[in-house]
A and B are shown apart, each in its own frame.
Chain A
Amino acid sequence: MSVTYIDAIHQAMAELLAEDEKVFLYGEDIAGKFGGAFKATKGLAEQFPGRVLNAPIAEDAIMGVAIGAALAGMKPIVEMQFADFGTLAQNQLGNNAAAHYYRTGIPVNVTLRMPCGGTPGGGPYHSQSVEALFAHYPGAHVLCPATVADAYYMLKQAVQIPDPVVFMEHKFLYRWLKADTWLEKDPLPIGRARIARPGRHATVVAYSAMVPETLKAADELAATSGYSLEVVDLRSVKPLDTDTILASVARTGRLLVVSEDFPWGGVAAEVIARVTGQGYHLLDAPPLRVTSKDTPIPYHPDLWKAHRPHSGHIVEAARYLMSL
């Protein structure tokens, strides 16, 4: 029997609710029989009465409620219906929740789950990757799981972290990404990147749904050219595990960073800035990045496929990187 990425998220929430009475779920359309736009909370309202609560359509207020509840000792897990609408909660997350520990010495234990990333036909406002916007503010951690096991363990770990944690769940991975189990023998702690595939000729750093795309690209390149790519799955974009990236670049001498987000001021730019700053001497070629285009995300699947990085773009960029 196989389980999916969204099964892992559902299971993590069910266990968190069972293990800790301070945990409750709050968001739009998550309660009742409906169980959320993506059904991540299906059945949980019946299983945990009074602890899975529907909110009005008010993203700013939803995040504000979570902050207040956390200050009163609870551990709220908030679901934004789509990460795109998370921008409406950005003031509360960035200026209030994330700033609170530095200002007052009291951390705000909220977990903000945001279904992010593109799916065919999603269009400009149901497809965005907003991790860089949220990572920008000091005081929050931003997680981008790319495997079924990470979706399970990182959500469980997120709630144990006393600070605000933004948990970016990729909508495409929800039902597409499958594994035999969400359990792992030795799960990594948050803050550690993972070598998803060892390789010798170039380091490709990716996160979220770009990890399976990059693994596919690495297979294609190996089959057609013999080049072997080392794929680093960031897992969390903040904290950013610069050590693992630098160690990989030291082995390969080349760096490509892949992100589904827009190019400007994104995670890819941050990774490249750190590697060039701390490991310039390790590089045999200029570091490159593959990101989505600098336009809003288009609706038509043909436009969308050209806008969003896929394995073909990654293979092409890797070949160019090897030519430098």
Chain B
Amino acid sequence: MEMARAFDTKLSALYKAGKIYGGVFTGRGHEAIAACEGVYLRKGHDVYTPFIREQAGRCAWGDSVLESARSYFGSALGLMRGREGNVHWGNPREGTLAPISHLGAMIPVVAGMLMAKRMQGEKDFVGVVCIGDGTTSVGATHEGCNLIAVEKLPAVIVVTNNQYAYSTPNHQEFACKSLCDRGVGYGMTTHECDGTDFLQTLEVMGRAIAAARAGEGPQWVVAKTLRMCGHGEHDDASYIPQELKDRFADRDPLAVARRQVQEQGWLTADEIAAIQAECADEVQRAVAQAQKEPTPNPATEDWSATSWKPTRY
């Protein structure tokens, strides 16, 4: 969570300095939810589909911020080699998918990976798909979730309700009382948590992921928070009422988590400060390296969209 916050803070500064191509999308307010997904997953064994605000999940899964930095800077040495950028990177061979922009589209892709693992005789695997309140409105989400339930796949759908889909508030996005109703409709076991409460989120996410892994069928988790930033760094989120922002002012998941881990006796204030310093250094190194690395060369680029080519005579 500290690493993700440090990275997002750095990215935001770089964006404002005009150093990033395109947009910057941060996860302020989402760190507890994302970290509590990633921490229960096994890289190379499970499937994880982070999307726009899951840097903390990527860190917890075990990916370095260097790869995220390479994605933003379009480094030729990155997994996406400048062909894809910002939050759209993945490493399918290790179990993270490179999400496309179309919301809901990755849900059935995760279903397909889980079905394949089942056919291949793998055991104890789970797939986590990250979606948001806005994603619940799109048709692909319905098709994918229904199919996951029909196939009884070991999937966990994490719905982060951050109350705004870009500028659209919940009441213009859906009319059911709770987004948990959707999960009930699909026939999934549902869970709900306060996504700003680190300990509660850790417990609920742990339970949901364990249940899916144990073969109890797909799980639907609704985690509520507030997007404590714009949709992207280009957006000042002035459409979010000040009173709502004020209500969440003391619920920053990072501040809550720092307090909770000290109350639990897991970490001291000094240890937290040391972690923060370490994260700041690593982010600094990752960004410096990604900026130094070669960029893709249009003259030597392989402008071929297929791996197979017909034989010419």
From A63, A68, A102, A139, contact of B113 by CB (8 A): A68
CB of B79 within 8 A of CB of A104, answer yes
Q: What is the interface size of chain A, counting residues whose CB is below 8 A from a CB of the partner?
A: 52
Residues of A within 8 A of B255 (CB): none
B144 at the A interface (CB under 8 A): yes
Q: How far is the CA of A56 from the CA of B306 in the complex (A)?
A: 30
Which residues of chain A in 78-130 are interfacial with respect to chain B, using CB atoms and an 8 Å cutoff? 91-92, 95-96, 98-107
CB of A69 within 8 A of CB of B140, answer no
Residues of A within 8 A of B304 (CB): 102
A64 at the B interface (CB under 8 A): yes
Residues of A within 8 A of B83 (CB): 102-103
From B84, B113, B307, B313, contact of A72 by CB (8 A): B113
B33 at the A interface (CB under 8 A): no
CB of B147 within 8 A of CB of A58, answer yes
A71 at the B interface (CB under 8 A): yes
CB of A61 within 8 A of CB of B147, answer yes
Q: What is the interface size of chain B, counting residues whose CB is below 8 A from a CB of the partner?
A: 45
Chain B nearest CB, measured from A149 CB (Å): 18
CB of B310 within 8 A of CB of A239, answer yes
Q: A68-B109, A68-B112, A68-B114 are in contact. Are A73 and B308 (CB under 8 A)?
A: no
CB of B105 within 8 A of CB of A64, answer yes
Stretch at the interface among B91-99, B187-195, B270-278: B91-99
Stretch at the interface among A188-196, A206-214, A284-292, A315-323: A188-196
Chain B nearest CB, measured from A201 CB (Å): 26
A46 at the B interface (CB under 8 A): no
Residues of A within 8 A of B119 (CB): 24, 50-51, 69, 74
Q: A56-B147, A91-B102, A103-B84 are in contact. Are A69 and B307 (CB under 8 A)?
A: no
CB of B109 within 8 A of CB of A192, answer no
Q: Give the residue name and chain of the A residue nearest to B306 (CB).
A: A163
CB of B109 within 8 A of CB of A67, answer yes
CB of A65 within 8 A of CB of B100, answer no
B143 at the A interface (CB under 8 A): yes
Q: Give the residue name and chain of the B residue nearest to A138 (CB).
A: B305
Chain B nearest CB, measured from A130 CB (Å): 19
Residues of B within 8 A of A62 (CB): 108
CB of A64 within 8 A of CB of B140, answer yes
Q: How far is the CA of A62 from the CA of B150 in the complex (A)?
A: 13
Contact flags (1/0) for A19-33 with B, using CB distance below 8 Å?
000001000000000
CB of A243 within 8 A of CB of B307, answer no
CB of A141 within 8 A of CB of B100, answer no
Residues of A within 8 A of B140 (CB): 60-61, 64, 91
Which residues of chain B in 22-56 are interfacial with respect to chain A, using CB atoms and an 8 Å cutoff? none
Residues of A within 8 A of B120 (CB): 72-74
Q: A69-B112, A96-B100 are in contact. Are A162 and B147 (CB under 8 A)?
A: no
Q: A60-B108, A102-B305, A190-B310 are in contact. Are A72 and B116 (CB under 8 A)?
A: yes
Q: How far is the CA of A55 from the CA of B93 in the complex (A)?
A: 26
A66 at the B interface (CB under 8 A): yes
Q: Give the residue name and chain of the B residue nearest to A58 (CB).
A: B143
From B98, B108, B113, B143, contact of A104 by CB (8 A): B98
Most chain B beta carbons < 10 A, residue from A61, A71, A236: A61
CB of B311 within 8 A of CB of A61, answer no
CB of A60 within 8 A of CB of B116, answer no
Residues of B within 8 A of A64 (CB): 105-109, 111-112, 140, 143-144
Residues of A within 8 A of B81 (CB): 105
B284 at the A interface (CB under 8 A): no
Residues of B within 8 A of A269 (CB): none
Which residues of chain B in 44-93 are interfacial with respect to chain A, using CB atoms and an 8 Å cutoff? 79-81, 83-84, 88, 90, 92-93
B312 at the A interface (CB under 8 A): yes
Q: Give the residue name and chain of the B residue nearest to A162 (CB).
A: B307
Which residues of chain A in 228-281 are interfacial with respect to chain B, using CB atoms and an 8 Å cutoff? 236, 239, 241, 243
Q: How far is the CA of A59 from the CA of B139 in the complex (A)?
A: 11
Chain A nearest CB, measured from B136 CB (Å): 15
Residues of A within 8 A of B98 (CB): 100, 103-104
B283 at the A interface (CB under 8 A): no
B295 at the A interface (CB under 8 A): no
Chain A nearest CB, measured from B287 CB (Å): 23
Residues of A within 8 A of B212 (CB): none
Q: Give the residue name and chain of the A residue nearest to B85 (CB).
A: A103
Query: Known contacts A73-B116, A241-B310; can you find 5 more A-B pairs with CB under 8 A?
Result: A58-B143, A71-B97, A71-B109, A99-B305, A101-B305
A-B contact pairs, 27 of them (CB 8 A): A50-B119, A60-B143, A64-B107, A64-B108, A64-B144, A65-B108, A65-B109, A65-B111, A65-B115, A67-B109, A68-B109, A68-B115, A69-B119, A72-B112, A72-B116, A73-B116, A74-B120, A91-B140, A96-B105, A104-B90, A104-B98, A105-B81, A106-B92, A161-B308, A189-B311, A191-B311, A243-B312
On A, residues with C-beta under 8 Å from B are 24, 50-51, 55-56, 58-74, 76, 91-92, 95-96, 98-107, 138-141, 161-163, 189-192, 236, 239, 241, 243
Q: Closest 9 A-B residue pairs measured CB to CB? A: A191-B310, A68-B112, A64-B108, A72-B116, A138-B305, A61-B143, A65-B112, A58-B143, A61-B108
On B, residues with C-beta under 8 Å from A are 79-81, 83-84, 88, 90, 92-93, 97-98, 100, 102, 105-117, 119-120, 139-140, 143-144, 146-147, 150, 304-313
